Chains A and B, each alone.
Chain A
Amino acid sequence: AQSVAQPEDQVNVAEGNPLTVKCTYSVSGNPYLFWYVQYPNRGLQFLLKYITGDNLVKGSYGFEAEFNKSQTSFHLKKPSALVSDSALYFCAVSHDRDDKIIFGKGTRLHILP
């Protein structure tokens, strides 16, 4: 069975500073990893994904994530945070032996002006 963990309920970062939102996973096959963002009263929007290939994945709005197989992690990063990045971020995992996608509990990101 697959699982995904987002160990931080909330992350606070000053505007202009780098940000990291953590995600670790557990799957029985090759992982497929995703990040989605949710703004208030909206559905989720896709940011980026890792299926295969380069471990560093670049996505929307200047976000990137690094797939680390040995640490089973897929942390979301951005070099310089914006106030508009404040939202709820979800990590999700699937794998090559199952159609299901499992979402983490979400991490609320607050960017302080």
Chain B
Amino acid sequence: NAGVTQTPKFRILKIGQSMTLQCTQDMNHNYMYWYRQDPGMGLKLIYYSVGAGITDKGEVPNGYNVSRSTTEDFPLRLELAAPSQTSVYFCASSGRDHTDTQYFGPGTRLTVL
């Protein structure tokens, strides 16, 4: 049982490039989340999904897009990378709803130069 997996682990992008951060969970969870973690700032919610086909904005959605075509996958898209998007990105999932425990992936460290 792999839980929540994220790829890649590390990535360096140039300003203006685009990329997709992949997130997959094998626990049949309804809820999935994307966070970014910056030093001294804690975790900020970017987007979340309550089920396949349903997504909603979090605290810091600008510059990102998501889709949820299946229960298992919740990719995060950066269209025009900016230095301000340098961060560590975590994907998480929870079973029933937002009262349930969140299970986190190992993270993707992204640097935009």
Contacts and interface: CB of A to CB of B under 8 A. Distances in A.
Interface of A: 6, 9, 32, 34, 36, 41-46, 49, 51, 90, 94, 98-106
Given A43-B105, A99-B50, A105 B42 contact: yes
Contacts of B50: 99
B106 A9 contact: no
Interface of B: 4, 31, 33, 35, 40-45, 48, 50, 56, 58-59, 90, 92, 97-99, 101-107
Which 3 A-B residue pairs are closest in the complex by CB-CB distance? A43-B104, A105-B42, A103-B43
A107 to B, nearest CB: 10
Q: Which of B40, B50, B98, B105 has the most CB of A within 10 A?
A: B98
Contacts of B90: 43-44
Given A44-B90, A105-B41, A105-B42, A100 B104 contact: no
B13 to A, nearest CB: 21
B42 A103 contact: yes
Contacts of A41: 107
Given A43-B104, A43-B105, A100 B42 contact: no
B97 A102 contact: no
